Amino acid sequence: MAMISASILNADFTCLAKTADLIETAGADAVHFDVMDGIFVDNLSFGLPVLESLRRYTALPIDVHLMIQEPLRFVERFVSAGAQYLSFHIESQSDPVQTLQAIHSHGIPAGIAVSPGTDVEKVFPLIPEMDEEDFFLMMTVEPGWGKQPFIPEVLPKIRKLSGEIRKKHRRLHIEVDGGINAETSLLCRQAGADYIVSGSYLLSAKDPAEAVRLLRGDKSDI
């Protein structure tokens, strides 16, 4: 069954504690926290002080996605601020093996994010460097902005990555993020994803708990 990580990128930042309560009550498994530096992507979001504050208001794991130019510089600080999953982009300027090792040194799962325009085979050599329960974050929109439409051309890349993980007999996960609703979640899960990030669809749902069940693929009590 898929893990559901609820993105707060488009939440009302004046009441994140209430948003965290909504996410927890809905039955999501984690809070997805997007960090943007205005350099790697053409947008700014929130950083360490907001993460520290959010950490006090939720018992859920916080899934931090670094869309920043030099993630290696900030690994220790984001872990200290509350990250319990930490992903960085293969397209960033930091050495990916060193960044994986830095995250692993703190005992939490590491993720390698892949933008839609990047050849997924670029991350294949890194599979042996990853620990069990690490993950790849396949972006299904261009990183940097919420409320974008899902890019279906990423689905074959997810299938290809899933096949390579199985071929290497590794227990790694595939997360998807961008334009995810009940329909696109199903497509991604069928392609091999088992971590699902959803923001606007989940947070704006009339029944967020039902939205979580649909995203997860659990229809047993609907």
Task: Tell me, yes or no, if 134 is annotated catalytic.
Answer: no
Task: Tell me, yes or no, if 12 is annotated catalytic.
Answer: no
Catalytic residue among 29, 34, 63, 134: 34
Site of tokens 């994140």 = 16
* Interatomic CA distance for residues 117 and 128, integer angstroms: 23
The tokens for 56 are: 């006090």
**Residue type for position 125:** P
The tokens for 82 are: 């509350």
- Spatial CB neighbours of 120, under 8 Å, sequence gap ≥ 6: 114, 138, 157, 160, 161
Q: In the chain, helix, strand, coil percent, each to 5?
A: 40, 20, 40
Catalytic residue among 42, 63, 177, 218: 177
What positions carry a catalytic annotation? 34, 177
